[in-house]
Amino acid sequence: MDKLELLAPAGDLEKLKTAVDYGADAVYFGGELFSLRAGAGNLSIEQMKEAVQYAHAHHVKCYLALNIFAHNEDVLPLEDYLLKIKALEIDAFIVSDPGIMLMIRAVMPDAEIHLSTQANMTNYKTAQFWKNQGVKRIVLARELTFDEIRHLRAQQPDLELEAFVQGAMCISYSGRCLLSNFMIERDANRGQCAHPCRWKYALVEEQRPGEYYPIEEDERGTYILNSRDLCMIDHIPDLVEAGIASAKIEGRMKSSFYVATVVGAYRKAIDAYYQDPAGYEFRKEWMDELKKVSHREFTTGFYYNQPTNQDQNYQTSAYTRNYSFIGVVKDYDPQTGMAIVEQRNKMTVGEEIEVFGPHTDFFKQTLEVLLDEEGNAIESAPHPQQILQIKMEHPVSANFMLRKRKE
């Protein structure tokens, strides 16, 4: 059987390389213009060239998001941009605007087009329309159930289906939100969403200006638009059976630590399934890994049923952060067991830390030997991106990461 593709977000070059190292089959990223994550680091044209070379050297595909809804003022700059990136060996372009598809076809007639979830594709007739326009893959709207996906798959067996499996859910229809634009003139459909759905709201009666009443549902609070995060790691067989070709992780704004942890967990779950589909059993430790990065409570979204109040968090829009990302390994000497580590958060001698890397299980150890860059013993490392030397109890390599549980 064709294996389910694991598609990872790459907000910048470092995150792209992390996703590749930790087991992604494909990565998606934006350039400095024309993608829907203006706040992500994104990649310059030179960085895209390096990114594509790095990914392809590891047999990983690269998809470029050009999924804004273009205004007239965007057309000429986008045409110029396409000419500049024409020579890059990008595997596919993620697009929602038909005009942008026309521009890509004019510059790169053989380019592979993936329809962005922003296009709200929810039925097999619309899928047929986009197939007739030369689209190879549909990124499904988040509002589809498994039953609908199976029906669509049966009607359009030649189209690839991509679906989100992990990350933030938008309260608006497939991300087509005007709230940010209306409230603070930041257009969500041009990459500038301020996430007003996570804000706290109150009710004001027309004849009583200045009197604010909290919006509540019993004792649950005021966050009426605040969805839980999507998580489908414990439903891999259902994703495969429904005919989904690519499992997409949301999060181009997330950290390298997030990308490494989530990609690593899904890599293990997907590989375990294909090793023995009939005898596959989900392992709780994969879910435990996902809970070690910043997250909201989890939901399965629309896959099994219409979301209910159980899929919202009415108490807070804050993330759960039980672990701190404290360092990344830059080099390792197997003779001495010493690792060169770039600090990301404070660590102190005597603390218990966890160390994890690509395609491995994590291990715990007490931080006993901590040296600065010159080899002097220190008690703590409070300075951002400080270079350290740390004695490791087990072998590691570059791009392993260190974390610790918060008190």
Model pLDDT for residues 221-277, shown as the tens digit of each residue: 445 566 778 999 999 999 999 999 999 999 888 999 999 999 999 999 999 999 999
Of 29-43, 94-108, 349-363, 365-379, which range is least confident?
29-43
pLDDT tens digit string along 289-320? 999 998 778 889 889 987 665 555 545 555 67
Half-sphere exposure of 287 (CA within 13 A, CB side): 14
Q: Is 328 exposed, middle or buried (0-12, 13-18, 19+ CB in 10 A)?
A: buried
Whether residues 363 and 260 fall in one domain: no
pLDDT at 344: 95
User: In angstroms, rounded to a whole number, what is the distance separating the alpha carbons of residues 214 and 201?
Assistant: 7
pLDDT at 332: 97
The last residue of a domain, from among 311, 332, 363: 311
Name the pLDDT band for 281 (thresholds 50, 70, 90): very high
Whether residues 71 and 20 fall in one domain: yes
Q: What is the pLDDT averaged over residues 348-364?
A: 96
Indicate the pairing of strand 160-167 with strand 229-231: antiparallel
Which strands sit side by side in the sheet containing 387-391, from one edge to the other?
363-366, 352-356, 401-405, 323-333, 338-343, 387-391, 370-372
Whether residues 163 and 137 fall in one domain: yes
User: In angstroms, rounded to a whole number, what is the distance separating the alpha carbons of residues 166 and 342?
Assistant: 28
Q: Are 279 and 237 contacting, i.e. CB atoms less than 8 angstroms apart?
A: no
Residue type, 167: G
Of 44-48, 174-178, 239-243, 375-379, which range is least confident?
174-178
Is 182 domain-assigned?
no
Q: Over 70: is that where the pLDDT of 219 sits?
A: no
Which of 232, 292, 233, 248 shows the shortest CA–CA distance to 24?
A: 248
Is 215 domain-assigned?
no
CATH number at residue 15: 3.20.20.380
pLDDT tens digit string along 367-388? 999 999 999 999 999 998 999 9
Name the pLDDT band for 346 (thresholds 50, 70, 90): very high
Q: Over 50: is that where the pLDDT of 218 sits?
A: no
pLDDT tens digit string along 179-192? 777 677 777 666 67
Is 129 domain-assigned?
yes
Q: What are the respective helix, strand and coil percentages of the chain, to the nearest 5?
A: 30, 25, 45
Domain that holds residue 388: 323-405
Q: Is 349 exposed, middle or buried (0-12, 13-18, 19+ CB in 10 A)?
A: middle
Whether residues 294 and 366 fall in one domain: no
Whether residues 294 and 340 fall in one domain: no
Is 86 domain-assigned?
yes
Q: Over 60: is that where the pLDDT of 50 sits?
A: yes
Q: What is the pLDDT averaged over residues 347-373?
A: 95
Q: What percent of the chain has pLDDT over 70?
A: 88
pLDDT at 313: 53
pLDDT at 213: 65
Number of domains in the chain: 2
pLDDT tens digit string along 109-127? 999 999 999 898 999 999 9
Is 389 domain-assigned?
yes
pLDDT at 208: 80
